Amino acid sequence: MKYGYFDQSTREYVIDRIDVPVSWTNYIGVKELCGVFNHTAGGYLFYKSPEYHRITRFRPNGIPMDRPGHYVYVRDDDTGDYWTLSWQPVGKSLDKAKYVCRHGLSYIKYQCEYSGIWGQQTLFIPLDDPVEIWDVVLRNNSGKRRRLSVFGYTEFSFHHIQIDNQNFQMSLYASGSSYKDGIMELDLFYEDNGFQYFTADNTNDDASDFDCLRDAFIGQYRTETNPEAVERGSCSGSFELGGNHCGALRRVIELEPGAETRLIFLLGEGNRDAGKKMRSKYCAPGFSEVDTAFKTLGNFWKEKLEKLQINTPHDGMNVMLNIWTLYQAEINVIFSRFASFIEVGGRTGLGYRDTSQDAMMVPHSNPEKSRSRLVELLKGLTSDGYGLHLFSPEWFEKQTKAAFKSPTVVPLPPMSQRVHGISDACADDALWLIPSIVEYIRETGDFGFAEEKFTYADTYNPETNEGMSETVFDHMKRILDFSAREIGPHGICKGLRADWNDCLNLGGGESAMVSFLHHWALVHFCALGKRLGKDVSKYEEMTAKVRESCEHELWNGSWYTRGFTASGRGIGTPASKEGKVHMESNTWAVLSGAASHDHGIAAMDAVDQYLYTPYGLKLCDPAFSEPDDEVGFVTRVYKGLKENAAIFSHPNPWAWAAEAVLGRGNRAMKFYDALCPYNQNDKIEVRKAEPYMYCQFVAGPDHSAFGRAHHPFMTGSAGWSYFAATRFMLGIRPDFDSLVVDPCIPAEWPSFTVRRVWRNAVYNITVENPGKVSKGVKECKVNGQSVKCGKAGAEIPVQSKGSENQVTVIMG
């Protein structure tokens, strides 16, 4: 069963059957003002922080599903009938109304055809103004003159998510609303500049009216489905100091047969004056600034996507990598997981491991953001070499003192609470930062970054804004030294609070995943060090030692053991009854370069044999059924859900990459295809979730809802899918001084092309596969000149800035 399709011409996912089983979401805003909305305009808007500066309210995980939102009601003033341009909240019968939702790149279009009126509400945020634009178009297809009232409606929040949900004897009296000059202003009284506005073009005409009070607009014993004001056909002009506020504006229009009209609503950050400014900019006759802003947003994404465009025999891969997977990866870097319908704003800041990985995925399309994330993470590193598991970058940055500490000002905990001890450290967190830094340098050629100095979190003095400061290269050393120090009796890295797997809590036990990650980080570090002309002999020795311990202690004769409990029990061994085979140890053994080829082949065969399902690879098998606190929380999660043998998406691309390292292109593609959301577009009765997004996990075969995908958008699967598919399967990888082409593809692919922009030059790469191989490059020409080809693929030297280069690669 399907509910929509991928529209390549517009780069949109089009939901043309609107009653999708769960919310299908999208994000708007790429800077400070941002929002997350579903297919029926439910969702919320925030400025900088969804926790402390929430603009509109959202009642998550409730019924009716995902309300309120940013709604446009249309009322027929002759009959009193009314509807919304998004299907919900009025929810007209789908026999009589046709609704479409077009999820685009940082915009959403809600379209509706009902009662002879075609309508469209586009939501987007211009790149450089903190204002959400609701661009509304209405066309009269009914053949008769129509008199309509159009209401824009949204419910304001009290900013701080906690204040918005508790202690109402306080919060209900903290904000006030007013209407003047056609602009409603919300004033959050205990903030210095706590204002928002809601306005529209032409609000000064006599026929317009407003409500600032939610309960006046909705009416008693009613919901957004049947607001009293809409039913009555007019707002009541309410406003008050205290209470629950909304932005509700009514516009009255008349449409001749065939006529079309356009209305603009603006919901923005700032006071009435800011609203006036935005109104005169965006609502000037012709709305040309709205069109320009929308076009600029389109170009913003086009430019990013054009950094890497592919054309392969695999339609799904083309659509996902050319548009949706990069988009998802970018959204993760921007939002850092803190805003969705799952994370509803009560937990913000940067997760060390997630952010490190996210930053690694987009240095080509977003070098500035990758870099700034890396810097934030470097400052969130302790001098012991472990990262702060969850922290706010502001903690380690110069503060401009807040004159008055209102409850919605982001609190700065005392230093003692900012820096946690080793008992709260996750063993993997900071290791991810090393490859991220190295990949950033490989992409950008910004070698100087390695020499820049930053402070350590535990040495930072907020009073002086100073602390012990060392180079990026030194930070990397401390991370590697920490992992070398924190090892258990087998010489394998300790699991500490957790490793990548939040639910594997090994404490004093040992984690194979972390040792392999240590190896991977060391390989990256040594390569960089050598390129910079540094002495890395200590770390080369460390690499050899880690490899030896891994092979000796973790290879169990059949595959790679996942770890050891504090009492020395093996996890993920042939003798284990539950949790016998795990993704993390086997994929990382190969990916890290620590495993021998033969062991790698056997390990990945075990992955295929034990973990493969038609919806992707399970995280482990068999699922745990008995609580076992030495292993961790994973044993207390239902079978087939989350980390307990679900198809956890994030590690799936590790398996594609591992197979590519081993040269098995068909196997890599088999795994890619199983997880690929595009391939499930017509299986929504099973998948339920969006087919344009990877989800955190898909229920595994042990669960009654096998195949159901959960938690879309905000997941490391996005970046990793992009990374593994482009760098390992298609094999286009930047190195310090060359662009490497080293594909591992299904043997039957005759050819594919890639357009890659790297260090300001264009590389039009055609890969031919006449011998039907999966891996191996025998010839490569750049602009007709042969370049070096070896076991590691073709090496294309950096071409001059601004050049456009033709590259032909022959596999064999």
> Which residues participate in catalysis according to the annotation?
502
Sheet holding 308-311, edge to edge: 308-311, 751-758, 761-768, 804-811, 777-782, 785-786
Q: Is 570 helix (H, G, I), strand (E, B) or coil?
A: strand
Residue at shortest CB range from ligand NOJ: 502
Q: Which of 97-105, 496-504, 512-520, 683-691 is the region at the interface with ligand NOJ (rule: CB under 6 A)?
A: 496-504
User: What span, in angstroms and rounded, lies between the C-alpha atoms of 450 and 447?
Assistant: 6
Q: Which helix (H) or strand (E) holds 246?
A: strand 245-255
CB 687, min distance to ligand NOJ, A: 20
Interaction of residue 632 with ligand NOJ, rule CB under 6 A = no
Size of residue set near ligand NOJ by CB under 6 A: 8
Two tokens, residue 184:
């409603």
Segment near ligand NOJ (CB under 6 A), from 105-113, 183-191, 201-209, 347-355? 347-355
Q: Where does residue 93 rank: exposed (0-12), middle (13-18), buried (19+ CB within 10 A)?
A: exposed
Residue (240 or 502) nearer to ligand NOJ, CB? 502
Give the CA distances from residue 336 to residues 195, 331, 348, 708, 755, in Å, rounded to whole numbers and listed in that order: 26, 8, 8, 24, 28
Q: Which residues are CB-contacts of 739 (< 8 A; sequence separation ≥ 6)?
A: 732, 733, 756, 758, 763, 795, 796, 798
Q: How far is the CB of 332 from ligand NOJ (least distance, A)?
A: 10
Query: 502 or 540, CB closer to ligand NOJ?
Result: 502
Residue 778: strand, helix, or coil? strand
| Closest to 267 measured CA to CA, from 91, 73, 72, 104 | 72
| Of the residues 66, 289, 354, 584, which one makes contact with ligand NOJ according to CB under 6 A | 354
| Least gap, CB of 502 to ligand NOJ (angstroms) | 3
Tokens of 629: 């606190």
Stretch that binds ligand NOJ, among 152-160, 384-392, 495-503, 722-730 (CB under 6 A): 495-503
Which amino acid, 804?
Answer: E
Measured CA to CA in angstroms, residue 560 lies from 432, 553, 752 at distances of 21, 9, 35
Q: Is 481 in the site for ligand NOJ (CB under 6 A)?
A: no
State how far Cα 268 lies from the chain centre.
Answer: 24
**What string marks each residue from 503 to 532 as x (binds ligand NOJ by CB under 6 A) or -?**
x-----------------------------
Q: Does 351 bind ligand NOJ (CB under 6 A)?
A: yes
CB nearer ligand NOJ, residue 253 or residue 498: 498
Nearer to ligand NOJ, 505 or 774 (CB): 505
Residues numbered 637 to 666 that lie near ligand NOJ (CB under 6 A) are: 643
Cα 788 off chain centre by: 37
For ligand NOJ, give the closer residue by CB, 161 or 714: 714
Residue with tokens 């229009």: 253
- Collect all residues with Cβ–Cβ distance below 8 Å to 378 and sequence separation of at least 6: 433, 454, 472, 475
Sequential DSSP letters for 294-308: HHHHHHHHHHHHTTE
Could you tell me which stretch among 17-25, 289-297, 348-356, 653-661 binds ligand NOJ (CB under 6 A)? 348-356
One-letter amino acid of 720:
W
Give the residue among 577, 649, 657 at the shortest CA–CA distance from 613. 649
What minimum distance in Å lies between the beta carbon of 411 and ligand NOJ? 23
User: In terms of C-beta distances under 8 Å and separation of at least 24 residues, what long-range contacts does 60-63 make, across chains too?
Assistant: 60/341, 60/344, 61/341, 61/344
Residue 748 to residue 746: CA distance in whole angstroms: 5
Q: Nearer to ligand NOJ by C-beta: 154 or 649? A: 649
Least distance to ligand NOJ, CB of residue 383, Å: 23
Q: Which is nearer to ligand NOJ, 347 or 530 (CB)?
A: 347
CB of 501 to ligand NOJ, least distance (A): 5
**Least distance CB 720 / ligand NOJ (angstroms):** 11
Site for ligand NOJ in 792-811 (CB under 6 A): none
Beta strands in 713-790 (DSSP E): 732-734, 738-741, 751-758, 761-768, 777-782, 785-786, 789-790
Nearer to ligand NOJ by Cβ, of 427 and 729: the residue is 427
Burial class (CB in 10 A: 0-12, 13-18, 19+), 328: buried
Asked whether the beta carbons of 233 and 149 are under 8 A apart, the reply is yes
CB of 194 to ligand NOJ, least distance (A): 31
- Which range, of 94-102, 275-283, 300-308, 494-502, touches ligand NOJ by CB under 6 A? 494-502
568: exposed, middle or buried (Cβ count in 10 Å: 0-12, 13-18, 19+): exposed
Closest CB 144 distance from ligand NOJ, rounded Å = 55
Structure tokens at 493: 């890295």
Using the rule CB under 6 A, give the single segment among 205-213, 349-357, 486-494, 717-725 that binds ligand NOJ. Answer: 349-357
Min dist. Cβ of residue 619 to ligand NOJ (A): 8
In whole angstroms, the minimum distance from the beta carbon of 717 to ligand NOJ comes to 10
Among 77, 446, 502, 735, binds ligand NOJ (CB under 6 A): 502
Q: Which stretch binds ligand NOJ (CB under 6 A): 240-248, 276-284, 346-354, 573-581?
A: 346-354
User: In terms of DSSP bridges, do strands 804-811 and 761-768 run parallel, antiparallel, or are they unpaired?
Assistant: parallel
Return the number of the residue (357 or 565) whose C-beta is nearest ligand NOJ. 357
Minimum Å distance from CB 578 to ligand NOJ?
18
User: Which residue in the set 287, 324, 500, 678 belongs to the binding site for ligand NOJ (CB under 6 A)?
Assistant: 500
CA angle centred on 792, ends 791 and 797, rounded to 5°? 120
Indicate the residue among 211 and 643 with the shorter CB distance to ligand NOJ: 643
- Segment lying near ligand NOJ (by CB under 6 A), choices 96-104, 199-207, 351-359, 581-589: 351-359
Q: CB nearer to ligand NOJ: give 500 or 624.
A: 500
* Residue among 22 and 513 whose Cβ is closer to ligand NOJ: 513
584 is a contact residue toward ligand NOJ (CB under 6 A): no
Within 13 Å of residue 786, how many CA atoms lie on the same side as its CB? 7
Q: Are 590 and 606 in contact (CB under 8 A)?
A: no
Query: If binding is defined by CB under 6 A, does position 501 make contact with ligand NOJ?
Result: yes
Distance from C-alpha of 614 to C-alpha of 698, rounded to nearest angstrom: 11
**Token reading at 229:** 């004001």
Cβ atoms 719, 360 nearer than 8 A: yes
Among 353, 364, 494, 519, which residue interacts with ligand NOJ (rule: CB under 6 A)? Answer: 353
| Chain residues that interact with ligand NOJ, rule: CB under 6 A | 351, 353-354, 500-503, 643
